[in-house]
């Protein structure tokens, strides 16, 4: 890590096998914010959730076969909000959707990893534990935020009914347990989402947490 800038300097992955950092968190915990902090330190981050949007379109025919033609928007793309409202209310439908999308998302992820030359990469994914590369992670960073904070963020961002939001929250009640049972080092960082002077102070402490994790993992030394 470059002590002058706080970032990992330009390096290439001479071994051909990058170290992988896993980044995850519950719904609206703020993991994308933390992803931005990692990117500011010179670590490329893949947003697997956005990659899932591409996978949805590439697997559109299978989606239509399972969920019906009314799942499309007038423009002919998959209506992700409508699809999400259906699958989060039906555990079997959610499993069916994941069985369609996850294999394609895994393929796209592997292609992205293979195309990078940096020594350290980060994978940002809500369902990190179900990824094909999960066993290859050097460490896992879990982003946490309080329930009320996450609820406010979700309401502002997604503008969904409270009942729908609570269904999504309820589907993640055992979220952390699946990560602390793994062999990879697992760290928790808090993203409270406060404002004003407190926000600057909180960002400072959050960045120091990330720097301590990277030092402990020997990344950028």
Is pLDDT of 144 > 50? yes
Chain segment 155-168, per-residue pLDDT in tens: 777 777 777 777 77
Sort 209 into a burial class: Cβ within 10 Å, 0-12 / 13-18 / 19+. middle
Q: Which of 60, 83, 115 corresponds to the end of one domain?
A: 115
What value does the mean pLDDT of the chain take?
83
**CATH code of the domain containing 218:** 3.40.50.300
**Predicted model pTM:** 0.79
Judgement on whether residues 182 and 166 belong to the same structural domain of the protein: yes
Q: Which of 63, 94, 115 corresponds to the end of one domain?
A: 115
For 188, what's the count of Cα atoms within 13 Å in the CB-facing half-sphere? Answer: 11
Could you give the number of structural domains in the chain? 2
Report the alpha-carbon distance of residue 18 to residue 15 in Å, rounded: 8
How many angstroms separate the Cα of 38 from the Cα of each of 122, 141, 206? Answer: 8, 11, 11
Give the pLDDT band (50/70/90) at residue 2. very low
DSSP symbol at 119: S
Judgement on whether residues 127 and 220 belong to the same structural domain of the protein: yes
The residues pairing with 47 across neighbouring beta strands, listed in sequence order, are 124
Specify whether the CB–CB gap between 188 and 144 falls below 8 A.
yes
Judgement on whether residues 97 and 168 belong to the same structural domain of the protein: no
> Which of residues 178 and 105 earns the better pLDDT score?
105
Judgement on whether residues 69 and 138 belong to the same structural domain of the protein: no
Token pair 């592997």: residue: 110
Q: Which of 115, 131, 155 corresponds to the end of one domain?
A: 115
What is the pLDDT at residue 1? 44
Specify whether the CB–CB gap between 105 and 59 falls below 8 A.
no
- Domain span at residue 111 reads 52-115
Judgement on whether residues 102 and 196 belong to the same structural domain of the protein: no
Judgement on whether residues 84 and 101 belong to the same structural domain of the protein: yes
Query: Residue range 55-65: average pLDDT?
Result: 93
Give the pLDDT band (50/70/90) at residue 7. low
Report the alpha-carbon distance of residue 43 to residue 121 in Å, rounded: 6
């Amino acid at each position: 890590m470059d002590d002058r800038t706080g970032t990992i300097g330009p390096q290439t992955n001479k071994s051909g096998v990058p170290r992988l950092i896993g980044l995850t968190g519950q719904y609206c915990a703020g993991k994308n914010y933390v992803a931005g902090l990692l990117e500011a330190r010179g670590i490329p981050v893949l947003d697997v959730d956005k990659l899932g949007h591409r996978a949805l379109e590439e697997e559109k025919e299978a989606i239509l076969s399972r969920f019906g033609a009314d799942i499309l928007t007038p423009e002919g793309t998959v209506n992700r909000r409508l699809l999400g409202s259906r699958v989060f209310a039906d555990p079997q439908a959610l499993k069916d959707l994941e069985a369609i999308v996850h294999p394609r998302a895994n393929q796209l992820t592997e292609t992205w990893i293979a195309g990078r030359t940096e020594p350290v990469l980060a994978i940002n994914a809500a369902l990190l534990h179900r990824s094909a590369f999960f066993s290859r992670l050097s460490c896992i960073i879990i982003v946490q935020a309080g329930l009320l904070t996450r609820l406010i963020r979700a309401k502002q961002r997604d503008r969904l009914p409270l009942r729908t939001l609570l269904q999504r929250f309820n589907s993640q009640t055992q979220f952390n347990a699946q990560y602390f049972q793994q062999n990879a080092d697992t760290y928790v960082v808090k993203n409270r989402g406060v404002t004003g002077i407190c926000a600057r102070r909180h960002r400072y402490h959050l960045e120091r947490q990330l720097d301590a994790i990277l030092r402990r993992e020997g990344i950028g030394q």
